[in-house]
Structure 1
Amino acid sequence: MKKEEIYFPDWQRLLIGNTPWEFMLEVLIRTIVIYLALLIVLRLMGKRMNAQLTISELAVMVTLGGIASAPMQLPDRGILLGIVIFICALFFQRGINLWAFRNRRVEKITQGQLCVVLKEGVLEIGSMEQSRLSKDQVFAALRTHNIHHLGQVKRLYLEACGLFSVVKAKDPKPGLPIFPAKDKELMDSLDVDQKYQACTRCGTLAQTNQTQGQPCPNCSCEEWISAAK
């Protein structure tokens, strides 16, 4: 638009731009058709599209959003073109899933793989760094499963889709408390084991009389805290 064509208040330009009012009815029809087509395509893509998405599925979802916008809003773009692209995206997504099902390497590349974040009450620092996880994220996930300290956990997995899976220990042992440090009231309410202390970084246990001035044998951290039981 030219500079002299822009003035305020120009309500028609603000509300519908340069398109005529009649185009509003066309937008309604376009939106209904594209919406129904999108629902059908998502249904054919499978139940996974309603759950936590993998990397490849998220890429398809973003693509579908870009495809849907133009046929609904632009008067010079036909609806049929958007539907054809929808079908192409459908075959692409289903084809990738089938290929990944038959080839483990393709599955790892397109969908990722799980990693062990915690094993036998001790954090896997290397896995956390590789997955770009912080302790706060891990502890928050554990607290949602009513876990108070790391000794209650046998395994913690970060699934390929980004969800955490917790396997609780049948016989819990003392472990590093996972409550926020600023919640002193809750921290003070925990029963502590006087025999053991836990590394504040990874949760490795050591006898109390062996931790004075000694670094953690697992992560070299020199800070210890009384283990909860």
Structure 2
Amino acid sequence: MKKEDISFGDWHRWLFGDAPPAFMGEVLLRALVMFVAVLLLMRLMGRRMKGEISVAELAVVLTFGAIIGGAMHQPKSGLLPGLAVLGAVLFMHRFTNWLAHKYHAVEVVEQGDAVLLLRDGVLDLAAMQQQALSQEQLFGLLRNENISQLGELRRVYFEVSGELSLYQLPTPVPGLSVRPPADAPTAALDGPAQGKKACATCGQVPAATDHAGGSCLRCGAANWQPAAWQAPKAA
């Protein structure tokens, strides 16, 4: 469109663009056809597309938007090219899933692998940094799972779906509280957490002799808070 063809008061261009008003009916029909086609493709791609999706599946969904956009509302675009590209995407999705099923290395490259974020109540800071996951984000996810402190956990895995898999200790030990700083616990007056501190950076709860240098022997931070502990719930 040339600069001289642009007029601020041209309401026809604002509402319909360069297409005639009659094209609106065709747009509705095109949208219906593409909507049905996408529904069929989502069904053919499997049940995973209806639940938590992987990175590859998210890429497919975003590609759908790019494919169907032009076929639905651009007068110069036909339906058949868009439908052909949708078919090609379906083939590539099926083919890469077959490769991932046959070769584990392909699955790891395409979807990633589970990452260990916590071991025996202590955070793996390097793994969290690699996954671009902050401590507060992780703690928020743990609070959603009714975890009050890290000493309840033996392992925490960050799955490829973005969910956490938790393996809890049979008997909790003192650990770093996952509550927000404004609601951080005070020093315990009795119980297993009495007199113990937890590193506010990695969650390490050292022995009393380890505090001599003032820094955490695991991560080097010098940021401590009272260790938290909660009695196991009665069965």
Which TM-score tier does this pair reach, normalised by the shorter chain? over 0.9
Give the Å deviation of 1:212.
4.3
Unaligned runs of 5+ in 2: 230-235
Residue 90 (structure 2) aligns with: 90
Structure 1 length as normaliser, TM-score? 0.92
Structure 1 residue 188: Cα displacement:
4.3
Correspondence for 1:39: 39
Question: Counterparts of 1:76 and 1:210 in 2: how far apart (Å)?
Answer: 73
* Corresponding letter in the other structure for 1:9: G
Q: Does 1:227 align with 2:211?
A: no
Higher strand share: 1
Question: Given residue 92 of structure 2, which amino acid in structure 1 is its aligned partner?
Answer: F
Deviation by residue 1:143-181 (Cα, 9 ceiling, x = unmatched): 001111100112111001222222222211110011111
Q: Tell me which moved more, 139-148 or 43-52.
A: 43-52
- Mapped partners of 1:210, 1:65: distance in 2: 57
Q: Within 1, Cα distance between the matches of 2:23 and 2:60?
A: 30
Corresponding residue number in structure 2 for 1:149 = 149
C-alpha separation in 1, matches of 2:210 and 2:218: 14
SS at match of 2:195: strand
> Quick one: which amino acid aligns to residue 146 of structure 1?
N
Show structure 1 runs of 5+ residues with no match. Answer: none
Change (3 A) 1:53 1:191: farther
In the other structure, the counterpart of 2:74 is 74
Aligned positions of 1:126-145 closer than 5 A: 126-145=126-145
**Mapping of 1:1-229 within 5 angstroms?**
1-183=1-183, 187-188=185-186, 193-208=193-208, 210-229=210-229
C-alpha RMSD of matched pairs (Å): 1.8
How many residues in Structure 1 have an aligned counterpart in Structure 2? Answer: 227
TM-score by length of structure 2 reads 0.90
Aligned partners of 1:129, 1:78: CA distance in 2, in Å?
46
Q: Aligned equivalents of 2:114 and 2:125: distance in 1?
A: 15
Once the two structures are superposed, residues 21-61 of structure 1 have per-residue CA deviations (whole angstroms, 9 ceiling, x without a partner) of 11111001000000000010011101111222222112111
Structure 1 contact 54–112 (Cα < 8 Å) conserved: no
Query: Contact 2:188–2:195 (CA<8 Å) still a contact in 1?
Result: no
Q: Give 3-state SS (helix, strand or coil) of 2:167's partner.
A: strand
8 Å contact from structure 2 (residues 188, 194) kept in 1: no
